[in-house]
Amino acid sequence: MGQNVTISGRDGDFSAYLAAPSSGHGPGIVVIQEIFGINDVMREMADRLAAQGFFALAPDLFWRLKPGIELTDKTDAEWKEALDLMGRFDVDKGIEDIQATIDHLRVTTGINGKIGAVGYCLGGMLAYLTATRTDIDASVGYYGVQLPKYLGEAGNIKKPLLLHIADEDGFSSKQAQAETLKALGTNSHVTTHVYPSVDHAFARPGGKNFNAEAAELANARTDTFFRSHLG
């Protein structure tokens, strides 16, 4: 069980959910939200990382639009609100907030000095941009959206980045996936894995597209990746 903390950002304070390891020491990980806010799923993701020995901090990136938003993927009304929030979300400001979250973690008692980031959906795209625009030590993106829009920044990636790509992603076309893989294929800092026959959000527990086998494989690769680069 974690706790809510306050992060001081460039434009003001915002909340975040912090789950700490029982050992009281280890690396830090920024958990970057989907379009549904810091809901039960994101808190469970953070708790799982804490159980594996990481300080997991999930910032409320929608705070400028609607602080404390918690939606699910269960109703059309919630989907409509989530997509509206994504459409109005300022990506550049979001990355500033992620940098503030990284800074907060770096001075948290017990942190070993290394910070990673993991994001899902919108957060998957933001995890990529975290690798191109911040001082993060390692980043992981799950089924990131709109990646081709930012591939011009790929040359800025100087630290390890791992991307999990859903082969049948309803929010990322085959062309978008091909462009992403081609643009990143020559960057030695980037590792990509494509998961056949799975859709967007295949790693979201309880979601309609959840695929236990693919999620288990992706999560195991993420754990190995973080232990290799943040230990």
The catalytic position among 47, 200, 223, 229 is: 200
The three-class DSSP label of residue 25 is coil
pTM value? 0.97
Whether 63 and 14 have beta carbons less than 8 Å apart is answered as: yes
Tens digit of each residue's pLDDT (9 = 90 or more) over 53-79: 999 999 999 999 999 999 999 999 999
Nearest to 117 by CA among 99, 138, 133: 138
> Would you say residue 120 has pLDDT above 80?
yes
Residue 138's DSSP bridge partners are 116
Supply the DSSP string of 118-165, one letter for each residue: EEETHHHHHHHHHHHHS--SEEEEES-SSGGGGGGGGGG--S-EEEEE
222, containing H or E segment: helix 212-230
Tokens of 87: 């459409």
Burial of 224 (0-12, 13-18, 19+ CB in 10 A): exposed
Task: Identify whether 76 is a catalytic site residue.
Answer: no
pLDDT at 163: 98
Region 126-151 average pLDDT: 98
User: Which single residue is written with the structure tokens 């992403």?
Assistant: 180
- CA dihedral (55, 35, 89, 130) in degrees, to 10, reads 40
The catalytic position among 73, 97, 137, 169 is: 169
CATH architecture of 3-230: 3-Layer(aba) Sandwich (3.40)
> Would you say residue 22 has pLDDT above 90?
yes
pLDDT at 103: 98
**If pLDDT is split at 50, 70 and 90, which confidence band does 143 have?**
very high
Nearest to 131 by CA among 111, 154, 113: 154
- Average pLDDT of the chain is 97
Task: Identify whether 169 is a catalytic site residue.
Answer: yes
pLDDT at 201: 97
Q: How far apart are CA 159 and CA 190, in angstroms?
A: 8
pLDDT at 231: 83
> Would you say residue 210 has pLDDT above 90?
yes
